[in-house]
Amino acid sequence: MSVRRVMGIETEYGISVPGDPAANPMILSGHVVNAYASAHGVRSGRASWDYADEAPLRDARGFEISRALADPGQLTDVEDPTLANVVLTNGARLYVDHAHPEYSSPEVTNPRAAVTWDRAGELIMLEAVRRLQNRPGLPGVNLYKNNTDGKGASYGTHENYLMRRETPFADIVRHLVPFFVVRQVITGSGRVGIGQDSRTPGFQLSQRADFFEVEVGLETTLKRPIINTRDEPHAVADLYRRLHVIIGDANHCDVANLLKLGMTSLVLALIEDRAMTKDLTLAKPVATLHQVSHDPTLQAKVTLRDGGQMTALELLWEYHDAVAAYLDVRGLGGESDDPHTAEVMRLWGDVLHRLETDPSTCAADLDWVAKQQVLEGYRERDGLDWSDPRLRAVDIQWSDVRPEKGLFRRLADRGRMTMLVDEAAVEAAVTTPPEDTRAWFRGTCLDKWPTQIAAASWDSVIFDVPGRQALQRVPMLEPERGTKAHVGAILDRSPDVITLLRELDAAAG
């Protein structure tokens, strides 16, 4: 057991045009994607994304809903009207989703890499903003790495984890629901206002919590569930399940972001190995989710189905200790065994201890704590009540991707935030794919032969080969094949696509 598994982050960015609140967000989002794509010679339009293997209406509970009954927001296998949908040389997808520009990171195998390629998305969005500012005839836009506009709209930061198909989905639901309800004490990004429309004054831990209404379901934009049941593995379906997690916040802090992916991966490992023996089922999961988010003191008690009560921190300690015991019994988790697992466990325990004793000591590591301190500074200086609209403006400005405007970036540039990944690694990740997943093959092919890629997706690359009438699809259903170690030599010795395909056929035998 370790933290290692195939994972990734999808982030929809908030978008606005200064002085034009009525601007069409879908068209604006298309401008964002195309501004970046065209500057880098990436083809937008046509069939740049391959939808052939997507099945957004297939439910993990064993059925598939009718397209006629589905909400339009669920039909993610339909191209948006802007045709702004590209695959990047770092293996990521950049496109328009629900009227927001979305950056879906390439597949990685550990939380530190997830943080690296997620932050690369911030630089990509920043470049798009800069290019639109300098393009005649197009409006300048602002982009925000957040999850709500403070007026009732919410947009997602989704996580994806590859799991064993054999794991009963009922076990996933049973053990993950309590964990997702309480992990926000570490992973929440903080928000001004209570309720979906922020009508009630106050500050809460999570940007997303108030927008969740059911425990389990297939939706992602309406009646949002704590556990999403979409069964779309983008991998060998008999072996793998892709757990699509829609309940997370967009994190700027490296520590919070790393723990979000790392804690979840380790809890999933417990579930897969049938090693999570305690029943921590909550009496009212959705109500408790809201309750925990609305309590930045971290003192409120949550009620379990068996009548027991504990704080969110105590419940999260239960998961931490279950993972630690599992690793200890098997002699795993040390730096020599897996440094990524050791890093997650060290940070997880340290942050929980500090939250118990003095949450303010986590201001360099956790988004909600850092944001709360900044907001309290404004409140004290100017005598502001939580209902003051200036505080909502500060909340939005916190996540502005422009370093001269974004409050988080300004704090980070002053050395006030813990940065686990250095800027050089993030800048490299803007154009370079991870080497240890199929993203390496996808991104490298796009870099070498951009004009001969007709389409691509997570599990395929489709080549338009000169002299051949039919397009040539290379399937990639095993996420940990197509790596640099696996096919790097073949790509190095292939001067053209025809040679590449011949070499791949020969290697497949």
Q: Do 453 and 423 have their domain in common?
A: no
State whether 419 and 448 are in the same domain. Answer: no
Please check whether residues 78 and 146 belong to one and the same domain: yes
State the catalytic residue, choosing from 53, 59, 97, 337: 97
Query: Residue 305's pLDDT is what?
Result: 95
503 within some domain: yes
Other CB atoms within a 10 A radius of the CB of residue 53 amount to 17
Q: Of 408, 428, 448, which marks where a domain is finished? A: 428
Mean local confidence (pLDDT), 156-185: 96
What average pLDDT does this structure show over 392-420?
Answer: 96
Q: Which residue has the higher pLDDT, 48 or 177?
A: 177
- Name the packing angle between helices 339-357 and 312-329 (round to 10°): 150
Task: Identify the pLDDT of residue 122.
Answer: 98
Q: Which of 113-122, 137-146, 490-499 has the lowest mean pLDDT?
A: 137-146
| pLDDT beyond 60 at 121 | yes
Q: Of 104-113, 328-337, 378-387, give the lowest mean pLDDT range.
A: 328-337
The least confident of 48-57, 114-123, 134-143, 217-226 is 48-57
Q: Do residues 354 and 444 share a domain?
A: no
Work out the pLDDT band at 218, boundaries 50, 70, 90: confident
**pLDDT surpasses 50 at 44:** no
DSSP state of 154: B
> In this structure, are 201 and 253 located in the same domain?
yes
Q: Which of 164-168, 209-213, 216-220, 454-458 has the lowest mean pLDDT?
A: 216-220
Backbone φ and ψ of 370, nearest 5°: -65, -45
Predicted local confidence at residue 45, as pLDDT:
42
Structural domain contains residue 146: yes
Binning pLDDT at 50, 70 and 90, where does residue 373 land? Answer: very high
- Residue 433 falls within a domain, yes or no? no
What is the model's pLDDT at position 135? 76
Q: Collapse the DSSP code of 4 into the 3-class scheme (helix H, G, I; strand E, B; otherwise coil) and give the result.
A: coil
- How many C-beta atoms surround the C-beta of residue 238 within 10 A? 8
How much is the pLDDT for 223?
A: 83
DSSP secondary structure, 341-392, as one string? HHHHHHHHHHHHHHHHH-GGGGTTT-HHHHHHHHHHHHHHHHT--TT-HHHH
**Residue in 184, 449, 368, 364 with CA at minimum distance from that of residue 290:** 184
Same domain, yes or no, for 330 and 308?
yes
Q: Which of 368, 394, 428 is the last residue of a domain?
A: 428
Residues 456 and 323 occupy one common structural domain: no
254 is catalytic: no
Q: Are residues 31 and 149 in the same domain?
A: yes
Confidence at 54, pLDDT banded by 50, 70, 90: low
143 three-class SS: strand
CATH number of 228's domain: 3.30.590
Per-residue confidence band for 47, with pLDDT thresholds at 50, 70 and 90: very low
Q: What's the pLDDT at 388?
A: 95
Determine contact, residues 471/463, Cβ cutoff 8 Å.
Answer: yes
Residues 299 and 319 in one domain: yes
pLDDT at 48 over 80: no
Q: Tell me, yes or no, whether 117 lies in a domain.
A: yes
Domain total of the chain: 2
**HEC letters along 12-62:** ECEEECCCCCCCCHHHHHHHHHHHHHHHCCCCCCCCCECCCCCCCCEECCC
- The verdict on 464 and 369 lying in the same domain is no
The pLDDT, as a whole number, for residue 256 is 98
Q: Are residues 240 and 356 in the same domain?
A: yes
DSSP string over 252-310: -SHHHHHHHHHHHHHHHHHHHTT---S---BSSHHHHHHHHHT-TT--PEEEBTTS-EE
Lowest-confidence region among 190-199, 218-227, 240-249, 328-337? 328-337
Range of the domain at 461: 438-508
Q: Is the sign of the CA dihedral 497, 505, 490, 481 positive or negative?
A: positive
Same domain for 472 and 374? no
Task: Kindly state whether residue 2 falls inside one of the protein's structural domains.
Answer: no
Asked, for residue 232, whether it belongs to a domain, the answer is yes
pLDDT band (50, 70, 90) for residue 291:
very high
Extract the tokens encoding 22. Answer: 């009525």
Helix (H) or strand (E) holding 403: none
Residue ending a domain, among 428, 455, 473, is: 428
User: With 90 as the cut, is the pLDDT of residue 40 above it?
Assistant: no
Asked if residue 246 lies in contact with residue 168, where contact means CB atoms within 8 angstroms, the answer is no
Residue 402 has pLDDT above 60, yes or no: yes
Q: pTM to 2 decimals? A: 0.92
What are the angstrom distances between the C-alpha of 449 and each of 385, 430, 463, 464?
Answer: 57, 18, 9, 10
pLDDT in tens, 60-86: 666 455 555 555 555 554 555 556 889
Per-residue model confidence (pLDDT) at position 220:
63
Check if the beta carbon of residue 97 is closer than 8 Å to that of residue 84: no
